[in-house]
Amino acid sequence: MSTLYDERTQELIQQFRQHFDGEPTLVSAGPGRVNLIGEHTDYNDGFVLPVALKRDVRFVLRPRADRQVRLYSAEFGEEGSFDLDAIAFNRDKLWLNYIQGMAQSLEQEGLRLTGIDAVFSGNVPRGSGLSSSAALEVSTAHALLAASGQEGIIAGPRIAQLAQRAENKFVGVNCGIMDQFISELGRENHALLIDCRSLDYTLVPMPEEAALVIGNTRASRSLASSAYNERRRECEEGVALLQQVLPGIAALRDVSSEQLEANRHLLPENVYYRCRHVVSENERVLATVEALRQGDLAEVGALMNASHASLRDDYLVSSPALDTMVDAMRSVEGCYGARLTGAGFGGCAVALVKPGYEQAIADAVYEQYPKITSIWPEVYTTKAADGAQSAPLPSV
Ligand code: GLA
């Protein structure tokens, strides 16, 4: 609670007073994420290792007696509303659909929600591959659950699945489970190893000698969604072809590097390379967890670098901007390793850094990156933060 009752929440309370009569009674937050390693593995039933960011989407709200949801987006300076009994896709206010989709997903789970009056805003950079959408969905879930007195009755992994369903089925984006899962279940100073098949998860302490720096390329991600769907199809094709000789496999998660090499002749070249990324990336995630446990940060960095190369050369989801960002980060002593993070084609890169070298990395990025790309980047430092939560607000 104390962490949620900060300046940002107090500003939202002010805005609430301006838009609705009276006081909000609850606050909810859902963080963005950065993935340390395990890219394009979640929809292949594999492993991922993200951390939640100290940046979130936050609601202050008050339950209503009816089923109306009335919202003010402080970021867009826009109002929006809907009726929980008449949820329908809104073509004019796209942000409203994440909230409607989440509400629908919770009701489909058999929960009866009450309406709310709410003001919300986020400081997760939008459209940058840091999962501002998942942050909005998961924060919405906690706002609605808290408002209807049902906070705590659904387990975290299930909330993540319901949020993913909202994004897949209502918003219409074909994402995996990683972003919603880490936004829900992240923990301060920890990365989360998620088994995207069983949804088992393990907290992995972040060593104190490791800091994270995020470089936002601010480059267009217009290719991202079509390429994402194409990569998913290629992976499915790989599984279907490999099943001829490996009938026990259900996803690329079940295929070892040896099995893939032994059956390479069955696969078209593009499919082979996509599969090689996924299979090797799963192995790198588990090796990273081991190296973190042993405090071997040089090894973690090497695995991150290898992940980037695999995403660039085998999975073909990097871009000149991302490669330039990664090069700039790695040019500084004190950088253990750096890689693109998220779906790719723009968005952000993440570097694992010796504490004290964050500013040097930022300086190198601001110095080198614009010269080559003509784009002005942004650099953020972050620590692993807690996942989503809600809390009552003190009454005035
Ligand atoms: C996006 C998706 C995730 C995941 C990553 C790639 O962030 O939302 O589910 O597939 O891309 O690792």
378-382: strand order across its sheet: 335-341, 348-353, 211-216, 378-382
What is the assigned CATH class of domain 7-206+385-392?
alpha beta
pLDDT for 124: 96
User: In this structure, what token pair is assigned to residue 298?
Assistant: 């040089």
Ligand 1 geometric centre to CA of 314 (Å): 17
pLDDT for 1: 42
C-beta of 281 in contact with ligand 1 (< 6 A): no
Q: Closest residue (by CA) to atom 11 of ligand 1?
A: 343
Q: Closest residue (by CA) to atom 8 of ligand 1?
A: 175
pLDDT for 199: 98
Ligand 1 geometric centre to CA of 251 (Å): 17
Nearest atom, ligand 1, residue 39 CA: 12
In the chain, CATH 3.30.230.10 covers 7-206+385-392
pLDDT for 223: 66
Amino acid in the structure at residue 127: G
CA distance 372 to 367: 10
C-beta of 179 in contact with ligand 1 (< 6 A): yes
For ligand 1, mutation pick of 36, 40, 124 (most atoms within 8 Å of CB): 40
Ligand 1 geometric centre to CA of 176 (Å): 6
> Is 28 in contact with 220 (CB distance < 8 Å)?
no
CA distance 214 to 52: 13
Ligand 1 geometric centre to CA of 58 (Å): 22
CA distance 194 to 185: 10
Helix axes 94-108, 156-165, angle to 10 degrees: 130
Q: Could you tell me the pTM of the whole model?
A: 0.97
* Mean pLDDT, 10 residues at a time, the chain of 396 residues: 84 97 96 98 98 98 98 96 98 96 98 98 94 97 98 97 97 96 98 98 96 95 84 98 98 98 98 98 98 98 98 97 98 97 95 97 98 98 96 90
179 catalytic, yes or no?
yes
In the chain, CATH 3.30.70.890 covers 211-382
What residues pair up with 87 in beta bridges, in sequence order? Answer: none
C-beta of 211 in contact with ligand 1 (< 6 A): no
CA atoms within 13 A of residue 253's CA, in its CB half-sphere: 19
C-beta of 178 in contact with ligand 1 (< 6 A): yes
Nearest atom, ligand 1, residue 176 CA: 9
C-beta of 176 in contact with ligand 1 (< 6 A): yes
Contacts 24+ apart (CB under 8 A), 224-232: 224/343, 224/344, 224/345, 224/346, 224/347, 225/173, 225/174, 227/316, 227/317, 227/344, 227/345, 228/174, 228/343, 229/174, 231/40, 231/274, 231/315, 231/317, 232/43, 232/174
pLDDT for 390: 98
Q: Which CATH superfamily is domain 211-382 in?
A: GHMP kinase, C-terminal domain (3.30.70.890)
C-beta of 47 in contact with ligand 1 (< 6 A): no
Catalytic residue among 56, 179, 254, 386: 179
C-beta of 342 in contact with ligand 1 (< 6 A): yes
